[in-house]
Amino acid sequence: MRFGAAGVLATVVAVTAALLAPGGAGAAPRPRGTEPVYDFAGAIRETVWVDTGRDGDGDGRTDRVAADIVRPKETEAKGVKIPVIMDASPYYSCCGRGNESERKTYDANGRPVGFPLYYDNYFVPRGYAVVLVDLAGTNRAQGCADVGGVSDVQSAKAVVDWLNGRAAGYRAKTGGSAVPANWSTGNVGMIGKSYDGTIANGVAATGVGGLRTIVPIAAISSWYDYYRSDGATFGFDPVGLARTVEQRNSGQDCSAQNRKLTQGPPANGDYGPFWADRDYVAKAKNVRASVLLSHGVNDLNVKTIHFGQWWDALAKNGVERKIWLSQTGHVDPFDYRRADWVDLLHRWFDHYLMGLDNGVERGPMASVERRPDQWADQSAWPAAAASPTVLRGRPGTEPGLGSLTTGASSGTAAFTDDPSRGENDWAADPGTASGSRLLYSTGELANDLQVSGTGSITVTATPSTSSARLSAMLVDYGPATIRNFAGRGEGITTGTERTCWGANAPGDSACYKVTTADTANVDYTIISRGWADLANYRSLTKEEPLVPGRAYTMTFRLASTDHVVPRGHTLALIIGGTDGGVVSPPARTPELTVDLAKTTVTVPLAGTPPEFRGSGVPAGRGPLAHVDAVPQARLDRP
């Protein structure tokens, strides 16, 4: 990648620091990475109030957001410039960051003291500045939250602009003298989990100059897909999240903005202008930053379609990228693969922000957790050998049961929607017919079969009422030990001992509790899910009332994943109606008759599924061990 003169200077400073570190004399001219040679305890801690250029709270003045900064004191010397690691978040006062819910702290004069997470402790001694930004309307920032919209994104982008000399920053929340970022090279890397990583995606999608890389962790790529799914609704809306993050910012009147969040999104699952404003996938062509992405394949909060569609859009744009996929739910890699993650992050920032040629971009593109704490590297994601494979459900001797095959199918199968039942009800006892779902299986596999990528399903169904929901799942039937992603820690257990990652300073510790894998023994694993409203069969922008007795065809997505179905297991497709506790049910629950000849599932497979001859139904073994879905009440805050 290219660097301007300031970036070259930062690289020279970083390399010099590495060579002058203890043991550095005579070292190779291309060091592995920057070394902790700067004094963290004496670092400069300050707040700069950056003007966003927007008046989100309607008080007649443009809003300023607080950028809390920690940087080496050596940057006060003339000509010394360093890059920036930035985490823009709405959670610094309401909810906290990280596994231990750290919040920002300040001294009696309002000077920042405690910086959540380890980024400052680890990277500031290595010649970086760390900037933690309060998004508009949160913590000490002016304005109002708009849940992924223009104000949220602009409040973070403005800080990137300020670091590059294109926006104004001040010493005070109102008034105050102007402050230039004359210590910054302009090279910025944004990082963060959940909402924070989502904002990194959003800022990257603006194409802002100076943003060299982003590290989105369990991040949203389109807010429509957080609150809706192909016409189906998840039962909660953006205004609740806005009120949560604004709750500790006294004196702000955000009632007008909150009304927009209430009235903007359609009550149904239609996609419209409100969601388009918050769709970063549609703007991915603007991304110029490299991307280091991490997500849990069992994340039922920020569902996995988010990383899959974002990754595919970045690929079309030729963005340099790397991905980690864990078996966890909504968890930061610092809490399931700590040492390896910090090492990768260090090399990633050194390369993309300092310009060091350390080869990090030439390593494996993907790293996937196959079993708890057992990882496999891949040259590509989706896996290079994976290709879209069309499968069909073929009826067996029992109604609603049969084989999943690459061959043709015929006939129909029917089920009655039952909103009191959900995915684990449908998956249990796969050898027994059920009136609330259809189940088709490959039978026992002779060889491993890898599902890698984003699938889809096309269903042709005839409803008995004027509205209907559809759900579909891919299930791996067979015994396995997995991370307990539905447990309290979503796949991790937090201990009491601590490890330290960087330097300490009064009020700002680098030490965090050690975590271990929380595991569960199961008889089946749901590896991909999808939901839809059949009334959106023609378009996501406008639902249409269904005519009872008429057949409709709809294609909807299945969640992105990377999972190996082992030899001896079976891969099954389940089709149901309302997934109870996940999507909102229709006004009247229908019977749905599925045309099997016109219903297909497209699965990205590496390996050859059998042309099965037989029922294809896993043997009934009574109640099966499984992991319950995460309660919906836990899924309304990314």
Helices 255-263 & 238-246, crossing angle to 10 degrees? 160
In the numeric block, the tokens 């042309």 are attached to 611
DSSP reduced 3-state for 63:
coil
In which element (H, E) is residue 87 found?
A: strand 82-89
Candidates 295, 306, 330, 346; catalytic one: 330
Ordered DSSP codes for 554-620: EEEE---EEEEE-TT-EEEEEEES--TTTSPPPSSPPEEEEEGGG-EEEEEEES------S--PPPP
Residues 6+ apart with CB under 8 A from 294: 215, 216, 217, 218, 323, 324, 325, 326, 332, 333, 341
DSSP reduced 3-state for 170:
strand
DSSP reduced 3-state for 129:
strand
Candidates 299, 335, 417, 476; catalytic one: 299
Gap between the Cα atoms of 345 and 130, Å rounded? 14
Candidates 89, 93, 151, 194; catalytic one: 194
Residues 6+ apart with CB under 8 A from 198: 148, 192, 216, 219, 220, 221, 223, 280, 302, 638
- Could you give the C-alpha distances from 157 to 107, 250, 427, in angstroms and in order? 27, 24, 45
Structure tokens at 292: 């280091």
> Is 299 among the residues known to form the active site?
yes
The answer, yes or no, to whether the previous bond of 382 is cis (omega within 30 of 0) is yes
> Which residue type does 185 have?
T
> Is 194 among the residues known to form the active site?
yes
Do 514 and 497 meet the contact criterion of CB atoms below 8 Å apart? yes
The candidate with the shortest Cα–Cα distance to 131, out of 204, 211, 56, is: 211
For the chain, helix, strand, coil in percent to 5 are 20, 30, 45
In which element (H, E) is residue 113 found?
A: strand 112-114
Gap between the Cα atoms of 220 and 201, Å rounded? 8
| Residues classed as catalytic | 194, 299, 330
